[in-house]
Chains A and B, each alone.
Chain A
Amino acid sequence: MELIFEKSVPGRGTEYLPACDVPEVSLPEGLSRKAPPKLPELSETDVSRHYTQLCQRVYGVNCGFYPLGSCTMKYNPRIDEEMAALPGFTGIHPLAPEGATQGCREVLATARRLLCEITGMADMTFQPAAGAHGEFTGVLLIKQYHDARGDRKRCKILVPDSAHGTNPATAAMCGYQIVNIPSGPDGCVDLEALKAALGEDTAGLMLTNPNTLGLFDRNILEITRLVHGAGGLCYYDGANLNAVMGLARPGDMGFDCVHLNLHKTFATPHGGGGPGGGAVGCKEFLKAYLPKSRLMDGGDGIQVRSFAGNFLVVVKALAYLLTLGKEGVPQAAENAVLNANYLLARLKERYTPAYDGLCMHEFVLDLSQLKKETGVSALDLAKTLIDYGMHPPTTYFPLIVHEALMLEPTETESKQTLDQAAEVFLNLWDLAHEDPGYMHEAPHHAQIRRPDEVRAARTPILCQPE
């Protein structure tokens, strides 16, 4: 389809503003731009149709099954959107006086109380705007803690090899050296490797539990005990909290601080890549290090974003939490785990899981055998799924599994959806053996065929020339 600039006609536009009712003033000499920006000139009809056409080329959770592992693509309730769009929330200036912002403050306080209860933490900030931003904030709590004690020899953060890429990237942004901890044959942290890595230079450990293989680390209490024994702190990456929310608390596992992805676990929409919410909770002894806004709160503490963070995302998460409540929160987790295990059980007829046994909310398939037999890769299978109206699972992650496909169905999918998806997967196993060439070329019926990513990187076109 055409770019919006290609639809532009000079002189076209819609009047949204009245004429100026005060005397005009001009910018001082030399401070004006040389020419107006070449923004598109369109009627409102043009704008409406353009974005509607774009919208028809987007696949959301409302369109169909979205088993994207590690992303928790659960249904995003509409009531949460409606509440976040109330003018009593959208119309509030972040620096409005305290008396005019009691509702916002109560939203934050209530969400904080409920989420601290779920995670076993003492306090929480909503300033971080996304998961990786929450990680950054959490690791800064660890850094401030050691710095305040004058303990400056702690220069290393331990990260399991199954971790999301954001973990090592975050630790590096915080000036730490990264020590990769290998996974054992059971897919969990190798305790001997952990012991060997721990020492006086350990600042902390970043861990996702259940991990990215969908396994709950049964040694979790031993792991956090070992890290604390070495003087380090434990950071819980909440990306996979959906498996255990209401059933097991990071605080009880021995973690000192945690980030939550409100846009995963607490059902706020992903928006095609944000805005998210990366709330960070911590135990009592780290409270003083939580970020503040210089303008809203004063003081000289750390700050990771302006004002109070993505407030409307917190409104949505609160609406969701109030809806689910005491029974609904663990029930969501249980059904997420049940759905994953059910789908895994169906797929095991043909496919090989990376780790045998039960899984938590997600599982990883290892397609290396299929690739050896047919030449069909995890990527080929993923691309073929698009033709069947399904969003592909996460591919080639975690890095420790070759030809990995990672599936997370979430609790908001029905048995019928899971059965249909299983049928498609099983049929594609047969297709891979019958007509691998077809799958190498897939998708055949999508918006586009496979894009040339090498060309995109070698000769970058990142902007439409004027």
Chain B
Amino acid sequence: MGSYIPSTPAERREMLSAVGVSSFQELYRDVPEEMYRPDLDLPEGKSELEVARILTALAGKNRAFPTVLRGAGAYDHYIPSIVKYIPAKEEFLTAYTPYQAEMSQGILQSIFEYQTMICRLTGMDVSNASVYDGATAAAEAAAMCRDRKRRVTLISAAAHPDTIQTVKTYCYAAGEAVEVIPEKDGKTDLAALEAMLTPEVASVYIQQPNFYGQLEDVEKIGEAVHQAGAMYILGCNPIALAILQTPREAGADIAVGEGQPLGMPLSYGGPYLGFMATTAKYMRKLPGRIVGQTVDAAGARAYVLSLQAREQHIRREKASSNICSNEALCALTAGLYMAAMGPAGMEKAAKQSMAKAHYLAEKLRALPGVELVYSGPFFHEFVTTLPHTAEVLSALEEAGILGGLPIAGGVLWCATEKVPKAELDRAVEIVKEVLGRWS
């Protein structure tokens, strides 16, 4: 049986006696007898070698596809080797939230640098230290925007379905209204939105690029939102932001997004991280940890957890959010990824993802029965019709390729810089071959 308890049986006896009890049971004398020490149905403890065998076997029951043409909120980008190694350093891994600034400058500075990079990527003035993921970032942003008069949240039907559902859940919790803006041709329906912009609307959430990969007319939407006096939240893909108009340029008040593409593996959905940034005006409404720069008693530059008056451990029920632990190590990873890639590397990843998705789209649409469902410009995802979807996807899977995601009305494809042209060509050949069986 494995155990991480260092004290020997002799030491335990010595310690029990120093405490003034004769058994462990005496330490639990406040626990009602009828519930003490239940007979639990748990397996016997195991050695490290046995545990490694079991979990390695479980990992072996999964199938990791060498080529991934599926995104839908989780993106298979290339992760430089250094980005995998540094966050595994034990100090980064095993530290607590940096409450004690005097012995946590490394973590605090890494978060300050992450915040700065997120600001530069989004064009915003202030970023927090991360929240759980892109969906919770959207929900927290919506909560930031509500005031006494304006309580309604609007979210585009073209946003990620998990984001919509999470925002709806947070609004349900708070007892606040949320309405979904209809989509038209794979984009937010601007006319419908304009009709929904009543004086009660607090914020509007738009995703760019949206769930279907389509690029929204974010500037025009922003003008309508601001004209109605509401706040504008943009959900962004951080890789796309290397080349795409920033949320600031598009007029957003709050920029949020799923940070997973910044160096985090797919990992069956997590850990990921949500980034959140806003303008100076809304700084004190931003939830979560925020690191600030200051000086120490000797006048040297130092970093601390700042603006804590917003937070639950000070404000309790009046806090801006209940968030405590966030995704600090993922934020460190994201900062490290951006530092390693640099502006040129990020731009390359973005441009190649977009180019490869367009190449794949062109090749696929040349096949019989395959058409692009939406006509607008897209980044690295697109929807096609696909006859015999199940057969095509399973043929791709047999060949080691995870194809697009079946959604209502078609299949949502994605390509990143990681997929070489030869693999895209091979995927198209397989699709062609399967479709040929029916022609």
Contact = CB atoms under 8 A, between A and B. Distances in A.
A94 B266 contact: yes
A77 to B, nearest CB: 6
Contacts of A270: 94-97, 325
A112 B65 CA distance: 27
A397 B12 CA distance: 29
Interface string A281-312: 00000000001011110001011111111111
Nearest to B29: A358
A82 B425 CA distance: 36
Interface stretch (B19-27, B184-192, B381-389): B19-27
A295 B38 CA distance: 39
Contacts of B308: 457
A382 B102 CA distance: 11
A372 interface: no
B342 A172 contact: no
A371 interface: no
A196 interface: no
A307 B270 contact: yes
B63 A99 contact: yes
21 contacts: A3-B112, A17-B345, A31-B244, A41-B343, A60-B92, A68-B96, A93-B268, A94-B269, A100-B63, A104-B268, A129-B271, A168-B316, A169-B322, A173-B321, A215-B30, A218-B30, A338-B16, A360-B27, A462-B126, A462-B292, A463-B115
A37 B268 contact: no
A448 B343 contact: no
Contacts of B195: none
B439 interface: no
B324 A132 contact: yes
Contacts of A171: 317
On chain B, which size bracket covers the interface? 35 or more
B45 A37 contact: no
A129 B132 contact: yes
B50 to A, nearest CB: 8
B405 interface: yes
Most chain B beta-carbon neighbours within 10 Å: one of A23, A171, A342: A342
A71 to B, nearest CB: 6
B165 A303 contact: yes
A465 B6 CA distance: 49
A462 B291 contact: yes
Nearest to B84: A85
Interface string A78-99: 0101110111111111111101
Contacts of A135: 322
B215 interface: yes
Most chain B beta-carbon neighbours within 10 Å: one of A36, A68, A93, A96: A93
On chain A, which size bracket covers the interface? 35 or more
A153 interface: no
Given A39-B121, A249-B38, A415-B11, A337 B28 contact: yes
A247 B37 contact: yes
A362 to B, nearest CB: 13
Nearest to B407: A295
Contacts of A462: 112, 115, 126-127, 283, 290-293, 306
A106 interface: yes
Contacts of B175: 175
B48 interface: yes
Interface stretch (B66-74, B197-205, B226-234, B427-435): B66-74
B354 interface: yes
A383 B102 CA distance: 8
Interface string B107-125: 1011011011101110101
B325 A276 contact: yes
A328 B21 CA distance: 22
A446 interface: yes
B65 to A, nearest CB: 7
Contacts of B145: none
A48 B82 contact: yes
A178 B329 contact: no
Given A83-B56, A461-B294, A272 B266 contact: no
B206 interface: no
B100 A132 contact: no
A345 B319 CA distance: 37
A306 B173 contact: no
Contact of A143 (B26, B173, B316): B173
A106 B27 CA distance: 37
A272 B377 contact: no
Interface stretch (A197-205, A226-234, A316-324, A424-432): A316-324
B339 interface: yes
B129 interface: yes
A59 B104 contact: yes
A76 B94 contact: yes
A330 interface: yes
A273 B356 CA distance: 37
A435 interface: no
A313 B133 CA distance: 15
B28 to A, nearest CB: 6
Contacts of B6: 412-415
B340 A311 contact: no
A345 B16 contact: no
Most chain B beta-carbon neighbours within 10 Å: one of A16, A71, A446: A16
Contacts of B97: 270, 272-273
Contacts of A59: 91, 95, 100, 103-104
Contacts of B322: 132, 135-136, 166, 169-170, 172-173
A16 B35 contact: no
B270 to A, nearest CB: 4
A189 interface: no
A369 interface: no
Contacts of B375: none
B296 A450 contact: yes
A248 B296 contact: no
Contacts of A463: 112, 115-116, 119, 125-127
Contact of A106 (B61, B313, B327): B61
A335 interface: yes
A94 B74 contact: yes
B163 interface: yes
Nearest to B166: A303
A248 to B, nearest CB: 5
A270 B327 CA distance: 9
A449 B127 contact: no
Given A244-B31, A273-B326, A322 B51 contact: yes
B336 to A, nearest CB: 6
Nearest to A89: B59
A18 to B, nearest CB: 8
A1 B91 CA distance: 18
Contact of A20 (B14, B90, B292, B352): B352
Identify the 10 closest CB pairs spanning chains A and B, nearest first.
Answer: A88-B59, A325-B45, A307-B269, A271-B329, A91-B64, A273-B328, A57-B106, A60-B94, A275-B271, A103-B61
Contacts of B393: 97
Given A165-B316, A328-B1, A447-B105, A82 B52 contact: yes
Given A130-B325, A132-B322, A218-B30, A16 B269 contact: no
Nearest to B307: A457
A217 B318 CA distance: 28
Most chain A beta-carbon neighbours within 10 Å: one of B68, B97, B330: B97
A107 interface: yes
Nearest to A86: B59
Nearest to B41: A117
Given A172-B319, A175-B173, A247-B37, A308 B270 contact: yes
B424 A22 contact: yes
B43 interface: yes
